[in-house]
Structure 1
């Protein structure tokens, strides 16, 4: 199965794979793409017979589609998400390859999209009459009443351009899909997003996902139907940015502080400290350390100075090691500490030199 895809974002960014809903294309994620691709390498794909992906004539299962998407991921671990059918694909990937998925975003989707009968009926009617009859019916489920036509018209046009046979085969894949019993197998950090006025996947479907996936979080978007990420783009973008900040932050935290330190911190996490660990990973490392305004060497210089000023010598030792990992030389670290002697005080600098010298000796 050949799928057309596009990638945006920095070449060295962590990978985030996003899938569209039935009848839409990569453009469905356009409202979130700019923000997410600032730090993530965002891969968006088209379903068979949608957008740029070739049409198909043979039936396929949700797992076969998931494995085709999985083959696009060029890293051992990555984040994955999707809307509706794209969310079902993401969920399937997380179930069949749990060791590869770090973070999972399920937007307006389900572990089972209702009884199979209506899906088979839709497939038969599309084969007989084409796509035109679907436009008004489906888009009425995608958006709430009175939505801005500028939001609805582009996705409606995309729907009309979808290959009917590929659409029908996707309907049959949805009819056969039921992952409710495998939800406990999902190991990824999971965010479930639901629209409170979604007639296609009502909140009950989201609650089933959130209750079945260990540790999953549920966020409900007010006054949103099935394409909540389009109708309320800012809300969904904010939810995803905050949630995915943890995955990005964990990557940066490991790069700066080292795998051993972060693994020890994670192993020592308790129910009491878990939210604090999530906060510093998501905010300090996922949002501040990833900002483009300063490189990591400069951020290490600033951090060393701040720690000396406040007398946080235990943290200072950790960040001297980080400074070396970020490319500072021992001579440059010495210059930073000399600067602190002037502006933070000689006693503080004296203690800092003792800490730094011990770390540098350990590193040879």
Structure 2
């Protein structure tokens, strides 16, 4: 790592859509430990440390720093990784960086999630006082009250509190300077990227009203409030945050679910979702994202043609339960019973007569059920 770059961690396939994750003041990229690995199943996740936090050099910013300065460091990091356009999610100060990017660098941002953050942080004075305190005494004293500021009563993440305690005083104070000067309320209406605001319902630092202000001002923005979450929602309620982010950033998943319903029918998809468990959730996400969100949406082949290919492949491998489902799908995709029969007759030549015999039995049952209504 060069001294000019923010310390960071990259997870997920290099070819996947990039997603950058920004931290809160006083924490490191460990804030995302319970969320980033799951997001990396479908994204190239890059989580970064603020200057003087975690592994980032303290000298990257100095007194009088701005959120724009931090955003510039994030863009430099993205450039170094060959990332031109990316989705972004950030907590508190990390969320402010996302808002700045959306206003000032919209060409770099594909979508945005602002978590437990704000378009302003209650004026300059409290942050100026905190900056002076940390420059004078260091961050250790403030770390003693971190649990009360960050989490609901009785909850803590020792690693994050330790990050706070070990933050570089000058860099921490410079981040306070950035928060003191930050106010984008009059620019929120300019944000054109898909935006989600996520509030911790128990957050005293950036209460839900701050996130509602963002959601109300940004055109077409969404709002999610998470019960049982204070200021560091990804650490305290990771499953709820993960669900919100997957829904917001999962363009292929959303389109995949639409196509899946169009081809297989609502009843089948509803049954599949009802049977979903935490153990099978990633597999269902995989199916929706890749099979339905990428392969079935590829315009190279029509849906009629894809149904023919699918029927043949299922017969070849003896997947007769799936075959019945895809006979119904083939009818939705416009194939006549005669055309389905012709496909199965073709399989008798190339997959074998016994396989075709079983396939005809399955198809005949499904077609008769359809005819009976």
Q: CA deviation at 1:247?
A: 5.6
Match of residue 124 from structure 1: 132
How far apart are 1:122 and its partner, in Å? 0.3
Which of 48, 53, 56 is matched with 1:50 structurally?
Answer: 53
Please name the residue that 1:209 is paired with.
Answer: 214
User: Are residue 344 (structure 1) and residue 363 (structure 2) matched?
Assistant: yes
Other-structure match for 1:321: none
Instruction: Please state if 1:85 is matched with 2:83.
Output: no
Q: Distance in 2 between matches of 1:315 and 1:77?
A: 38
The equivalent of 2:232 in structure 1 is: 227
Match of residue 23, structure 2, among 20, 23, 31: 20
How much does 1:105 deviate?
Answer: 1.0
The aligned counterpart of 1:69 is 74
Which residue of 100, 111, 133 corresponds with 2:108? Answer: 100
Quote how far apart the aligned CAs of 1:103 are.
Answer: 1.9
Q: Residues of 2 paired with 1:302 and 1:68: CA distance?
A: 51
Cα distance between partner residues in 2 of 1:48 and 1:172: 13
User: Is contact 2:5-2:76 (8 Å) kept?
Assistant: no
SS at 2:73 equivalent: helix
CA distance in structure 1 between the aligned counterparts of 2:102 and 2:33, rounded to whole angstroms: 24
State the Cα deviation string for residues 210-260 of structure 1 (Å, max 9, x = none): 10111111111112210111111222122222222226656x89xx9xxxx
What secondary structure is seen at the aligned counterpart in 1 of 2:140? Answer: coil
Shift of the 225–310 alpha-carbon distance from structure 1 to 2, 3 Å rule, reads closer
Q: 1:248 to 1:20 in 2, by over 3 A?
A: farther
Residue 137 of structure 1, CA deviation = 2.3
TM-score relative to the length of structure 1: 0.73
RMSD over equivalenced CA pairs, Å: 3.5
In 2, are the aligned partners of 1:90 and 1:104 still within 8 Å (CA)?
yes
Conserved 8 A contact 2:307-2:329 = no
User: Is the alpha carbon distance of 1:75 and 1:125 closer, same or farther for their aligned partners in structure 2, counting shifts above 3 Å?
Assistant: same
Aligned to 1:195: 200
CA distance in 2, matches of 1:158, 1:315: 59
Tell me, in whole angstroms, the C-alpha distance in 2 between the residues paired with 1:197 and 1:177.
Answer: 23
Q: What's 2:287 paired with?
A: 288
Output the CA distance in 1 between the equivalents of 2:329 and 2:50: 54
Q: Answer yes or no: is the 8 Å Cα contact 1:19–1:26 preserved in 2.
A: yes
Q: Please report the TM-score for the alignment, with normalisation by the length of structure 2.
A: 0.71
SS in 2 for 1:290: helix
Contact 2:140 2:166 in 1 (8 A): no
Query: How many residues are treated as equivalent by the alignment?
Result: 300
Q: Secondary structure at the match of 2:125?
A: helix
Measured in 1, the distance between the counterparts of 2:334 and 2:105 equals: 37
Counterpart CA distance in 2 for 1:303 and 1:93 is 45
Return the offset for 1:79.
0.7
Q: Partner of 2:110: helix, strand, or coil?
A: strand
Give the alignment of 1:1-364 within 5 angstroms.
2-56=5-59, 58-59=62-63, 60-73=65-78, 74-147=82-155, 151-246=156-251, 287-290=286-289, 304-305=310-311, 308-312=327-331, 314=333, 342=360, 343-344=362-363
Distance across 2 between alignment mates of 1:205 and 1:196 = 11
**Alpha-carbon separation, structure 2, partners of 1:189 and 1:315:** 35
Greater C-alpha Rg:
2
C-alpha displacement of 1:124: 0.4
Q: Which runs of 5+ in 2 are unaligned?
A: 260-281, 299-305, 312-324, 336-345, 368-373
- Partners in 2 of 1:313 and 1:76 — Cα distance? 40
- Alpha-carbon offset, residue 311 of structure 1: 4.2
Asked if the contact 2:26–2:163 (Cα under 8 Å) also holds between the matched residues in 1, the reply is yes
Task: Write the distance in 1 (CA, Å) between the matches of 2:230 and 2:283.
Answer: 34
Could you give the per-residue CA deviations for residues 170-198 of structure 1, whole angstroms, max 9, x where no partner exists?
A: 00011001111111121221111111111
